[in-house]
Amino acid sequence: MIAIEFILAGMLAAATPFLLAALGELVAERSGVLNLGVEGMMALGASVGFITVYSGGGHVMGFVFGALSGMALALVFAFVTLGLHTNQVASGLAIGIMGLGLSAYFGKPFESFTVTGLGKIAIPGLSDFPVIGGLFRQDIVVWLSLIFTPALWYVLKHTKLGLLLRAVGENPHAASAIGYPVILIRLSAVAFGGLMAGIAGAYASTIYTPLWADGMIAGRGWIAVALVVFGTWMVGRVFLGACLFGAVSLGGIAAQTVGLAVPSQLLASMPYIVTIVVLGIISSNRRLVKLNGIASLGEPFEK
């Protein structure tokens, strides 16, 4: 198998943890709340999900409990930021660190244990193609993510719910004035973000790398946060960005196996460099800021 085949086959699975967590964060940020605790919510989801599967609960329950634990952490964040109007950046960081600590605490007795992942589902016909065939052999979660992504795009773009969410993010005072419960909508968006981060973490620890080790999320939550900016809060671009980052991370490895000398440290920092460049481009142009930014992002809302 040649390197490009390896990248194509593994890209989507490598991108899935980023993608799921980033889509959750995208929804939270669309409502105007910046939750920087994604890394911690993913870690907690990973540890709780792993423990569930290891203890015989099965993969579905692993995802359920992983998602719930991520959501629980997000609700703590929602309580302090939406309820007590604390600074979102500081609270998000604190929640993230807390999540990492809790994941290590719960996971301690399970350190370095492994579980069995799930098999891959191939699309008959397509998966037999040379080179690109690997793209069509993925596990169930990757397939579901591929269905979920356009569904989320549709909801955000074409439904009343999506419009409401965006309105709350753009101008919470206007939304409130015409009678919408801003705090409740933001709370739901943040909870959804935690849910998705928990699922992303559980995917990482029970299917993608079916083992638990403290610190195994290894910065993937931060890449998810960066991806949302990279994708300028658009579902499609976030998806493309996740695939790109997944491919780049595998590309660095594949290049080494075929004997190419690439500075893999530089490749590892690519997502962040690209994010800074995108941020720079957006904020250098007022029109782009208006088009792509979220007006009330990070600002507490008080009636």
86 vs 209 by CB, closer to other proteins: 209
| Minimum distance, C-beta of residue 256 to other proteins, in the bound complex (Å) | 5
Across-strand partners of 255? none
Question: Can you read off the two tokens belonging to residue 193?
Answer: 């973000």
| Minimum distance, C-beta of residue 13 to other proteins, in the bound complex (Å) | 9
Q: Which helix (H) or strand (E) holds 138?
A: strand 137-139
Per the CB < 8 A criterion, the answer to whether 252 and 265 are in contact is no
Q: E strands within 140-194? A: none
The b-or-e profile of 65-93 (16+ CB within 10 A means b, else e) is bbbbbbbbbbebbbebbbeeebebeebbe
211 vs 270 by CB, closer to other proteins: 211
In whole angstroms, what is the distance from residue 28 CA to residue 176 CA? 18
9 vs 278 by CB, closer to other proteins: 9
| Minimum distance, C-beta of residue 80 to other proteins, in the bound complex (Å) | 20
The closest alpha carbon to 118, from 1, 202, 213, belongs to 202
64 vs 204 by CB, closer to other proteins: 204
Long-range contacts of 281-288 (CB under 8 A, 24+ apart): 282/232
First vs last C-alpha separation in the chain: 60
Q: What single-letter DSSP state applies at residue 211?
A: B
130 vs 263 by CB, closer to other proteins: 263
| Minimum distance, C-beta of residue 262 to other proteins, in the bound complex (Å) | 8
| Minimum distance, C-beta of residue 110 to other proteins, in the bound complex (Å) | 9
85 vs 108 by CB, closer to other proteins: 108
| Minimum distance, C-beta of residue 61 to other proteins, in the bound complex (Å) | 22
In whole angstroms, what is the distance from residue 270 CA to residue 97 CA? 24
CA contacts within 13 A on the Cβ side of 14: 21
| Cβ neighbours of 129 (radius 10 Å) | 11
| Minimum distance, C-beta of residue 268 to other proteins, in the bound complex (Å) | 7
Longest dimension (CA), the chain: 62
14 vs 196 by CB, closer to other proteins: 14
| Minimum distance, C-beta of residue 138 to other proteins, in the bound complex (Å) | 14
Query: Using CB under 8 A as the criterion, which residues of the chain lie in contact with other proteins when the complex forms?
Result: 1, 3, 5-6, 9-10, 14, 101, 104, 108, 111-114, 117, 204, 208-211, 213-216, 218, 220, 249-250, 253-254, 256-259, 261, 263-265, 268
249 vs 292 by CB, closer to other proteins: 249
